[in-house]
Amino acid sequence: MSQTEIAMSFPGRGKGLRDVYKNRFLLKLLVSKEIKVRYRGSVLGILWSYMRPLTQFLVFYVALGLFLGVQGSTPNYPIYLFSGIVLVNFFTEALGNATRSIVENRDLIRKIYLPRELFPVASVWVSAVHFLPQFLILLVVCLFTGWQPTVLQLVLVVVAFIMVGVLAIGLGLFFGAVNVYFRDSENLVDLLIMMVTWLSPVLYLWSQVQHVLGGFFWIYQLNPMTVAVELFHRAFWESTLSPEQLGMPAAAPVPGLETMWLPIAFGVSLMILFIGQFTFARLSKKFAQEL
């Protein structure tokens, strides 16, 4: 066998996410294409990325903060609410788009071979682009309310965002591949997306969940999104509270958040990434035929 034949490889036998890194230029092109296609013919363009979190914030704040009185029991509730919504929206948008990415790019996949993982990963990057302006708004609001974070809290924000990105890519690879064979996967993901906001402490306090679950609270904490939202609250919400407000029961920190729950949550996210990549690699070999 010649050296040329040895160097050749069959389509579908790639190196997974390592191929995405090697094809960073293609990834950049896909992200640019996705953004242009999404806002083609739109008057407001990327400004629409602000509409969903703003609408959610207003609805939840009026319904829960004012009508149900959460505003009175939770200091700086608007910041508490918005810091959670921003992160959850990044995850839900990334997961939803990654799940549909293979099917929506069927024409490109049929015509040429390129690492299939590029499409779900590109969808997550597009969601990160939408996350950035919302994140900047959160920063500005926090600065106007006396935001004084520590270096550790800022580092934890970065770690939480990376963890959510890893989780979104892992689930996006899994459901993106399964969706090629079973289109019901999109409906399943839509249900999951609907539940995420309520399965994480975005609208309520973690202590309320502990009061209800008692000894089973650890199951709730196994959700990486729960830990990520709590880290965002620690960095943005708690850093805007006065010493008097920090002494309130509502501001009590989650025991072992950084030392125990964060490593566990990151480990769960990495495990999901491994499962997603393994499933994607097994199923991607027949994408062109199934699409």
Residue 41 has what pLDDT?
Answer: 57
pTM of the model: 0.88
Which of the residue ranges 102-116, 140-154, 248-262 would you say has the lowest mean pLDDT?
A: 102-116
What mean pLDDT is predicted for residues 110-124?
86
Q: Please check the confidence at residue 149 and state whether its pLDDT lies above 90.
A: no
What mean pLDDT is predicted for residues 271-285?
92
Residue 96 has what pLDDT?
Answer: 93
Domain extents for the chain?
Answer: 13-285
DSSP for the chain, please give it: --HHHHH---TT---THHHHHHTHHHHHHHHHHHHHHHTTT-SSGGGHHHHHHHHHHHHHIIIIIIIS-HHHHSTTHHHHHHHHHHHHHHHHHHHHHHHHHHHHTHHHHHH----TTHHHHHHHHHHHHHHHHHHHHHHHHHHHTT----HHHHHHHHHHHHHHHHHHHHHHHHHHHHHHH-THHHHHHHHHHHHHHHHTTTSS-HHHHHHHHGGGHHHHHT-HHHHHHHHHIIIIIGGG--HHHHTSGGGPPPTTIIIIIHHHHHHHHHHHHHHHHHHHHHHGGGHHHH-
Which of the residue ranges 53-62, 117-126, 202-211 would you say has the lowest mean pLDDT?
A: 53-62
What mean pLDDT is predicted for residues 244-258?
86
Q: Please check the confidence at residue 133 and state whether its pLDDT lies above 90.
A: no
